[in-house]
Structure 1
Amino acid sequence: MRADKNNTIRQPASDMIQKSAPFRSVLFVDHAPVLGGAEQSLLLLLQYLDRAEWQPHLACVPGQLADRAMRAGLPCHLFSLPRLRRSPRFAADGARSARQLARLARQVQANAIYANTVRAALYAAPAARLAKRPFFWHMRDFWLSETKPRHIRADTAVKRLLCASATQVIANSHAVAQQLPCAGKTAVVHNGIEVDKFDPRLDGRPFRAQHGIPEDTPLVGMVGRLRPWKGQLPFLHMATHILRQQPEVYFVVVGGANFAVEDDYARQVTHLAQELGIAGQVVFTGMLDDVRPPLAAMDVFVHPGEPEPFGLVNIEAMAMARPVVAFAHGALPEIVQNNVTGLLTPPGSVPALAEAVIGLLTDDEKRRQMGDNGRRRAETHFTIQRTAREVGKVMQRGVSR
């Protein structure tokens, strides 16, 4: 580039030709103030979409997602969302938010509106209808099951309405897609990460030294927010089984609480470690911005939670060439190849989980081979570049109709 005498930036002709190529603007909508897995995946997607084809705009509430998006240089538009609840007031407030999004879509000349998860879709679907734009719904969570009959009927109606409203539905796993009555509209696109930023050669010794973990002792770990469904309690029970056979093993729990309601659970987790008599060999790191150092320090990664719609941290562990041990439910069988990149055990069986981990701790060659296989699988199946291309293809089909 060069500047003329008026300090106007002039671009080379080749750049100008590239910039003039057709592209489409899309308004991406997210509801969450905190940075969960769905929001992390959305941020990566927005950064890796082909700018020769797509111009993303993000509409979100103030919070961690907005801060990270603005730091990444993404066009970010703040708006407010009412609390999700069953009441006439919610319907009125929701309609107001939908009108606000429709106006924003027109202002940024969006060719389509994209909702990241269910709650965002509740506002983005009517906004797309008002703005007369195609509507893409990216479903990244399991639809929560209700028990009261009238709530079941209401949720079923909402699910069908969103499916009917969507031009195209994207599910982040086959496990999620199976819950949706969107036959013929759903494309499965697995989440991806920046695999190249995960180096299996990273030295884990500094992390061990920082947390008082001996260099030569086996280390088994998990990563996840301190929430019951993430499985910290089963992880600790698993640890007691392992320590009966291998008393030298250490354990690390990476993750913290985001909300006050999670603080009670955090106390429950640390109390259980003390109650089981294993607190001296369990390290709680709290929330970490970078999971690579603890993953580098681990010998085996464990995912002991309830069924996951995807489970991004499992491909992060695989990218670090760590074997993954997990329950065989949710989307985990789509990520972990049993006996190839890790071991899948019967759902809910803590003893089986422990035996799988012990089997890997006592077989260095098997552990290394599974780790290497996991790294190759991450490189071929779970890169953000691949995810962005596939999502781009889905949106291209939708806006071309």
Structure 2
Amino acid sequence: MKNILFLHAGAEMYGADKVLLDLIKRLDKTKYNPIVILPTAGILVDALEKEKVEVMVIPYPIMRRKYFNPKGLIEYGVNLVKYTHQLVNIAKKKNIDLIHSNTAATLEGGFVSRKLNIPHLWSIHEIIVNPKIMYRVTCKLIAKYSSITITDSHAVKNHLDASGCFKPNKIKVIYNGVDSERFNPNNDCTYLYEEWNIPKNSRIIGMMGRVNSWKGQDDFLKAANIVMAKYPDVYTVFIGAAFEGEEWREKDLADKIACSPYSDRIITKGYRTDSEGIYKLYDVFVLPSINPDPFPTVVLEAMSTGKPIVGYKHGGICEMVKEEYNGLLCEVKNPDDLANKIEKILIDEDERKLMGENSRKRLLSNFSIESYVDNYTNEYRRLLREERDE
């Protein structure tokens, strides 16, 4: 049995957290023993412990915007050295055979693997646009300190390749998958109509995602106001919370919603654990990320639940949505076009139903959880075989 050390950037339950959990849950435990170290406590820790996976919480630093200043960089550097040394000692004690770092914000794995001369698989789920110096530095580190770099979409791969830091064949694409049994068209959502005071005959448009500077909540609100002005039976739902320390973003969104003439038909909630029912509630799932979204898991989950998708035409969503088949893509940062595409699907019930069915088909054919786990397992096997042959 081979010991794999997993390092990740948090302990919440958003996209990168979910796909990591799904991978670890489904590993062949007769061949691979996962050991997970996370920088904070949280629901991901609880979920892993429920699966009887060994988890440790060690507050190693995660590269966030709060460090993008002289004082922050010094603090980050000091902690990076301190906790990398601690992780090296743990890796020795646990006889780690391979390190899997999940997200570009987790730099420690590269240094630990180099120190111990063991393979390092680095999964990248980000498209870093700004600041550009962080894009360059991160790409150089990933290229230098990973045995293989795995991206979750061609959009991410192309973004890394454009840096000029990577050798040919050092980046591979493995699409994420979601549990199609958990997210399915038969999930129950009836309780939400009562909880949120939504009439049963309403049509509902909604998004789900982190409240941050680029997920597009503001653009969705503008588009939703246009649609709701035409159709009194349309309700709009926002699901998601901000990073810790950025709660002001949630208040800012709430203030903008309060100013809408249709605020009585807008529901906004923070993080929820019943996403299965929420996807089922939606008639159209919307994700208008204003920066390229690498490969949004929420879109896969909505597809698996049998929902048509509307989003901006850039990033990984272009690999998930086949236009006119399971959704529509819009001009980036154009809320008017977003509203038009939402309306186009919303008003045609037959087309909406067909697109939803096609979303489910496309998910099962291209983004299954089984192929996702198999592809990662094949990379583990290859890296460990190469290490043995050396």
TM-score of the two chains, using structure 1 as the length reference: 0.88
**How far, CA to CA, are the matches of 2:374 and 2:34 in structure 1?**
14
Kindly report the root-mean-square deviation, in angstroms, between the aligned alpha carbons of the 2 structures: 1.8
Structure 1 counterpart of 2:79? 93
Contact 2:9-2:62 at 8 Å conserved across structures: no
1:338 CA drift (Å): 1.0
Which of 131-140 and 160-169 deviates more? 160-169
1:339 counterpart = 2:324: yes
1:59 CA drift (Å): 1.3
Contact 1:31-1:81 at 8 Å conserved across structures: no
Contact 1:175-1:331 at 8 Å conserved across structures: yes
Identity %, equivalent residues: 25
Structure 1 counterpart of 2:270? 286
Which amino acid letter does the alignment assign opposite residue 94 of structure 1? L
Structure 1 counterpart of 2:171? 186
Q: Which runs of 5+ in 2 are unaligned?
A: none
**How far, CA to CA, are the matches of 2:149 and 2:41 in structure 1?**
26
**How far, CA to CA, are the matches of 2:135 and 2:220 in structure 1?**
33
Structure 2 counterpart of 1:221? 206
> What SS does the aligned partner of 1:226 have?
coil
Deviations 1:115-141 (A, max 9, x none): 111222x21111011111111111111
Deviations 1:359-397 (A, max 9, x none): 111111111111001111112222222111101112222
> What SS does the aligned partner of 1:261 have?
coil
**How far, CA to CA, are the matches of 1:250 and 1:344 in structure 2?**
21
Structure 2 counterpart of 1:162? 142
Contact 2:104-2:124 at 8 Å conserved across structures: yes
**How far, CA to CA, are the matches of 2:377 and 2:12 in structure 1?**
26
Contact 2:62-2:105 at 8 Å conserved across structures: no
Q: Structure 1 residues 158 and 369 mapped into 2: Cα distance closer, same or farther (>3 Å)?
A: closer
Contact 1:48-1:384 at 8 Å conserved across structures: no
- Match 2:46 to one of 59, 62, 67: 67
**How far, CA to CA, are the matches of 1:88 and 1:203 in structure 2?**
50
Structure 2 counterpart of 1:28? 6
1:114 counterpart = 2:100: yes
Kindly tell me the number of residue pairs found equivalent between the two proteins: 372
Which amino acid letter does the alignment assign opposite residue 163 of structure 1? A
Which amino acid letter does the alignment assign opposite residue 222 of structure 1? M
- Match 1:102 to one of 56, 78, 88: 88
> What SS does the aligned partner of 2:181 have?
helix
> What SS does the aligned partner of 2:246 have?
helix
1:398 counterpart = 2:377: no
Structure 2 counterpart of 1:3? none
1:310 counterpart = 2:310: no
**How far, CA to CA, are the matches of 1:93 and 1:261 in structure 2?**
22
TM-score of the two chains, using structure 2 as the length reference: 0.90
**How far, CA to CA, are the matches of 1:376 and 1:89 in structure 2?**
48
**How far, CA to CA, are the matches of 1:162 and 1:286 in structure 2?**
33
**How far, CA to CA, are the matches of 2:213 and 2:179 in structure 1?**
28
Deviations 1:326-363 (A, max 9, x none): 11111100111111111111111111111111111111
1:265 counterpart = 2:243: no
**How far, CA to CA, are the matches of 1:37 and 1:348 in structure 2?**
23
Alignment of 1:241-260 (within 5 A): 241-260=226-245
Structure 1 counterpart of 2:282? 298
Which of 300-309 and 177-186 deviates more? 177-186
Structure 2 counterpart of 1:20? none
Which amino acid letter does the alignment assign opposite residue 167 of structure 1? S
1:177 counterpart = 2:157: yes
1:58 counterpart = 2:36: yes
1:195 CA drift (Å): 0.9
1:176 CA drift (Å): 0.9
Contact 1:115-1:124 at 8 Å conserved across structures: yes
Structure 1 counterpart of 2:352? 367
Contact 1:173-1:190 at 8 Å conserved across structures: yes
Contact 2:310-2:330 at 8 Å conserved across structures: yes
Contact 1:111-1:133 at 8 Å conserved across structures: yes
> What SS does the aligned partner of 1:163 have?
helix
**How far, CA to CA, are the matches of 1:160 and 1:261 in structure 2?**
29
**How far, CA to CA, are the matches of 2:224 and 2:135 in structure 1?**
39
